Amino acid sequence: MQRFTFDCFAAFLLISSVAFAAEQTVKGKIKTVDVAKKSITLDDLTLDVTRKSKITVDGKSATLGELKVGRSADVKYDDVLDAAITITISIESDVVSDVGELLTFKGHTGGVRCVAFSPDGKTVASGQGVIFGIGEAGKPKEFPILLWDAETKKEIRRFNGHKETVRTVAFSPDGQQIVSGSWDKTIRLWDVKTGKQIRSFEGHSREVTGGITFTADGNRIFSGSVDKTARMWDVKTGEELKTFAAKGEVHCISLSPDDRFLMTGETRVNDENGNTVMSLWDIAKGKLLRRFSGLKGGMNTLSFSPDGRRVLTGGTEWVMQLWDVETGDELNSFEGNSCCFTPDGKSIFANSKDKCLVLWDLESGKEFRRFDGHDKAICVAVSRDGRKALSGGLDKTVKVWGLPHSAPEN
């Protein structure tokens, strides 16, 4: 149970055809607390706070649970709603989700190249590394994966073993294991509770790249590599089960929500489809189904939408592109480089060329929320419940952001 108390000097109290009596208390489910607009909105109540007013929720906007508006002992209500009154607002909620920057994790000695939430959203994993030509004068001496408590911002433990940049990291569906891929050509499986390496998966001859993932049952892992392959592995044995031979260097991969299809993002292809393509594979048959052309720049990120009907790409030229999986048509484009869908499939969370994080509304194609405070973010992730997002950057930090519950109606 968390409790917040606010003392506000209000100029207007607007309630739908309801006048306050001296002992009256209004209850309702709060919708928003908007510091910028100085307003609180409930199901049937809007409180506008104007001159001489101060309203804060840990210094940020927030969406909270139940709101109670009561009177101060020395204030008399005379049924004049637009009178200047002093009120006390007490908010109690089991679940509090601020909107904006929530936490900053500091502990990496080099840039953060990948981030991931655990399935329950309570822990965060981040992998350390460098990016060619950007940000860092020297190479770090170590390339650990750090595990963080997403509520207290404390470092829980480190996973040491990779000899080069950790480019990709993911939790198993039960949250008990972490898989990581590195430029040292290895894939490693870790025990979350102990921090010990369970096994390594060896077979790639070049750097392992972005998008490593588990299947929904946790029994298989998919990886991509600059060696122009994507591969499927058995989690329990470490055996390589299948190889998908791409035309170019595989810089990122994504697995469809039903685990039936694999998408590979390839660069340095140099054929009639261009220098950068996406390839759609039938996993059971190991068969190439379609290639997508028209991608702008090299591939940085790639992800299926939650319904599996669209795919989102982020490129080195700061262009994100949205594609129809069935037809191969480009549906829209946005500015960004590292990006992912929100779980409802209605929004995109991404970094931005102007050094902030942005939420994009897919239906309108417009941005509807900007998050300042991480001007060197190069990787992002969103929690399974859609309430929080992550960004990792060349400034050696990881930040947790509170997301609004839904995009605004168009």
140 & 87 share domain? no
pLDDT at 63 over 80: no
Mind listing the pLDDT tens digit for each residue in 64-113?
Answer: 333 333 333 332 323 322 333 233 333 333 333 468 888 999 999 999 99
| Within a domain: 407 | no
In a domain, residue 215? The reply is yes
Domain end position, chosen among 61, 78, 95 = 95
Q: Are residues 262 and 283 in the same domain?
A: yes
Residues 116 and 65 in one domain: no
Higher pLDDT, 409 or 48: 409
Q: In which band, very low, low, confident or very high, does the pLDDT at 353 lie, cut at 50, 70 and 90?
A: confident
Let me know whether 74 and 169 are in one domain.
no
Asked if pLDDT for residue 18 goes beyond 60, the answer is no
| Cα separations in angstroms, 166 against 17, 234, 269, 328, 397 | 60, 21, 25, 31, 15
Whether 267 maps to a domain, the answer reads yes
Does residue 84 share a domain with residue 63? yes
Q: Are the C-beta atoms of residues 125 and 145 closer than 8 Å to each other?
A: yes
pLDDT score recorded for residue 3? 30
Q: Are the C-beta atoms of residues 210 and 249 closer than 8 Å to each other?
A: no
Which residues lie across from 406 on neighbouring strands?
none
Please check whether residues 394 and 291 belong to one and the same domain: yes
Determine phi and psi for 78, rounding to 5 degrees.
Answer: -115, 30
pTM over cut 0.85? no
* Domain limit, last residue, from 60, 95, 130: 95
CATH number at residue 253: 2.130.10.10
110 and 87 fall within a common domain: no
Residue 284 inside a domain? The answer is yes
Is the Cβ–Cβ distance between 96 and 65 less than 8 Å? yes
Cβ contacts of residue 168 below 8 Å, gap of 6+? 114, 127, 180, 181, 208, 209, 210, 211, 212, 223
Segment 119-153, tens digit of pLDDT: 999 999 999 998 764 444 456 678 999 999 998 88
- Which of 39-43, 77-81, 84-88, 299-303 shows the highest mean pLDDT? 299-303
Domain match, 160 and 65 both: no
Same domain? 227 vs 151: yes
213 in any annotated domain: yes
Kindly report the number of other CB atoms within 10 A of residue 26's CB atom.
16
Q: How does 316-355 read in b/e, with b if 16+ C-beta sit within 10 Å?
A: eebbbbbbebeeeebebebbbbbbbbbeebbbbbbbbeee
Average pLDDT over the chain, rounded to an integer: 78
At residue 77, the pLDDT reads 28
Query: What range does the domain containing 126 cover?
Result: 100-402
- The domain total for the chain is 2
Quote the CA–CA distance of 255 and 118 in Å, as a whole number.
18
The candidate with the shortest Cα–Cα distance to 146, out of 107, 177, 104, is 107
Domain check: are 109 and 55 in the same one? no
Selection from 266, 272, 290, 295 nearest residue 280 by Cα: 290
Residue 306 CA to residue 344 CA, distance in Å, equals 7
pLDDT of residue 135: 41
DSSP percent split of the chain into helix, strand, coil, nearest 5: 0, 55, 45
The average pLDDT across 257-285 equals: 89
Same domain for 146 and 214: yes
Domain limit, last residue, from 56, 75, 95 = 95
Q: Report the C-alpha gap between 115 and 380 in whole angstroms.
A: 6
In a domain, 408, yes or no: no
What's the pLDDT at 11? 27
Residues 183 and 154 in one domain: yes
Q: What is the pLDDT of residue 316?
A: 86
pLDDT tens by residue, 187-244: 999 999 999 999 999 999 999 999 999 999 999 999 999 999 999 999 999 999 999 9
